[in-house]
């Protein structure tokens, strides 16, 4: 238990920091994203050929977004602060994993898991997912999430699970008071994700970036359709906080219809030919057999990553995602109980100490001459 808690502290504090704050600023989001990247770094594939390719695709998306930004394009949240940082030093990374996911921490890093890359049937499908993730950054969705009220509850849960260890011997009891809600670590905390509105907005923004960057607009929803065909869209939308894949496909078709007559002029060749794309997929699969994966990360970081919502890909909670959430909730509750038990022992010993002091005080009082003793009169 102690080993798990130690490995959980840093990633939990980082994720908690994503969620708290009265009004999240870009600098905070970027800083916390950098901290999370340090945790994930061992599983990032640093192969120059793969990294260069992914960044080239990403740079095309960002270039299109920057041109639209100059035209004043974007939601109100995009215009709330200076946007210059969104077009500099933005990094896309392949993560060696067996998990199907793609996500962003809202700062300068976006992640594509290797199973998703290997599942993509074309560069169009990959670029669509990447454009969607960048849409979350462009609209500052992570920052908005940090300002949501439930973020405070989530942070309390996460800190409760690791509070005693984080505080150490000196401050452990003080920090552990947050543990009253530790059982929520697998609930409110891990259910943190983008809202249905966020996902729809990221699709809209991503579609515009993707189309203007030169890929085929008609293929933007192909990856979503592939997920539907694999049976990963079984939850009714009204039962989920996120849009169904079916409705995301329908919305994309409507956006295609609304494109201007000049849209065909935006088309450009892909970064990689179909043959080159398949070769890159094979390279990622082969390297993944020998390189460190997210399974090599610390226990806490590994479980938190597995428990992350995958709403960008599918609204259906996957079995490993659900298991990771349940495990984290259970271990947070165990940590809380251990903290409470540790705090209870010194509190029980305190009365005995007072009695001893009181007993010791009696002879001292008796030794004072009667004429010098002060007797309080009842009022």
pLDDT digit string, tens, across residues 58-111 = 999 999 999 999 999 999 999 999 999 999 999 999 999 998 899 998 999 999
Beta-bridge partner residues of 111: 93, 103
pLDDT at 348: 52
Q: At residue 261, does pLDDT exceed 60? A: yes
Which value, in Å, is the radius of gyration of the alpha carbons in the chain? 27
Q: Is residue 347 part of a domain?
A: no
* Residue 312 included in any domain: yes
What global pTM score does this model have? 0.71
> Is residue 178 included in any domain, yes or no?
yes
Q: Is residue 50 part of a domain?
A: yes
- Cα–Cα distance for residue pair 223/201, rounded to 1 Å: 17
In a domain, 361, yes or no: no
Domain coverage including residue 157: 2-337
Q: Is the pLDDT of residue 183 over 50?
A: no
- The mean pLDDT value of the chain amounts to 77
- Report how far residue 97's alpha carbon sits from residue 118's, in angstroms, rounded to the nearest whole number: 11
> Minimum mean pLDDT among 95-109, 308-322, 341-355: which range?
341-355
- Quick check: is 329 in a domain? yes
pLDDT for position 340 = 77
Domain count, the chain: 1
Instruction: Determine the Cα–Cα distance for residues 38 and 51; give it in Å rounded to an integer.
Output: 17
How far apart, in whole angstroms, are the C-alpha atoms of residue 121 and residue 348? 65
> CB under 8 Å to 211, separation ≥6 — which residues?
217, 220, 259, 263, 266
The CA-based dihedral angle spanning residues 198, 199, 204, 205, taken in that order and rounded to the nearest 10 degrees: 60
pLDDT at 242: 66
For residue 114, being part of any structural domain is answered with yes
Asked whether the predicted pLDDT for residue 205 surpasses 70, the reply is: yes
């Amino acid at each position: 238990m102690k080993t798990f808690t130690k490995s959980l502290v840093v990633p939990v504090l980082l994720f908690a920091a994503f969620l708290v704050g009265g009004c999240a600023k870009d600098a905070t989001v970027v800083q916390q994203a950098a901290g999370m990247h340090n945790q994930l770094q061992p599983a990032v594939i640093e192969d120059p050929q793969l990294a260069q390719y992914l960044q080239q695709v990403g740079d095309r998306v960002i270039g299109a977004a920057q041109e639209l930004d100059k035209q004043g394009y974007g939601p109100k949240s995009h215009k709330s602060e200076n946007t210059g940082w969104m077009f500099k030093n933005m990094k896309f990374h392949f993560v060696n994993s067996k998990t199907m996911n793609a996500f962003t921490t809202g700062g300068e890093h976006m992640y594509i898991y290797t199973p998703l890359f290997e599942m993509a049937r074309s560069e169009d499908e990959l670029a669509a997912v990447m454009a969607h993730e960048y849409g979350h950054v462009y609209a500052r969705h992570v920052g908005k999430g940090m300002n949501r009220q439930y973020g405070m509850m989530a942070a309390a849960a996460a800190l409760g699970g690791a509070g005693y260890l984080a505080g150490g011997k000196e401050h452990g009891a003080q920090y552990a008071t947050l543990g009253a809600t530790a059982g929520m670590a697998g609930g409110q905390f891990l259910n943190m994700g983008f809202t249905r509105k966020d996902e729809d907005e990221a699709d809209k923004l991503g579609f515009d970036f993707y189309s203007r960057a030169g890929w085929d607009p008609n293929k933007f929803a192909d990856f979503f359709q592939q997920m539907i065909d694999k049976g990963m869209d079984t939850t009714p939308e009204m039962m989920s906080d996120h849009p169904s894949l079916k409705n995301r496909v329908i919305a994309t078709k409507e956006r295609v219809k609304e494109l201007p007559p000049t849209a065909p002029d935006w088309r450009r060749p892909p970064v990689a030919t179909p043959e080159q794309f398949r070769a890159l997929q094979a390279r990622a699969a082969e390297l993944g057999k020998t390189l460190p994966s997210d399974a090599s990360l610390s226990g806490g970081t590994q479980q938190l990553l597995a428990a992350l919502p995958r709403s960008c890909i599918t609204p259906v909670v996957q079995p490993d995602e659900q298991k990771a959430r349940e495990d984290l909730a259970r271990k947070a509750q165990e940590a809380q109980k251990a903290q409470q038990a540790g705090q209870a022992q010194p509190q029980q010993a305190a009365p005995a100490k007072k009695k001893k002091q009181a007993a010791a005080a009696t002879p001292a009082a008796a030794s004072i001459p009667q004429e010098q003793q002060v007797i309080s009169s009842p009022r």
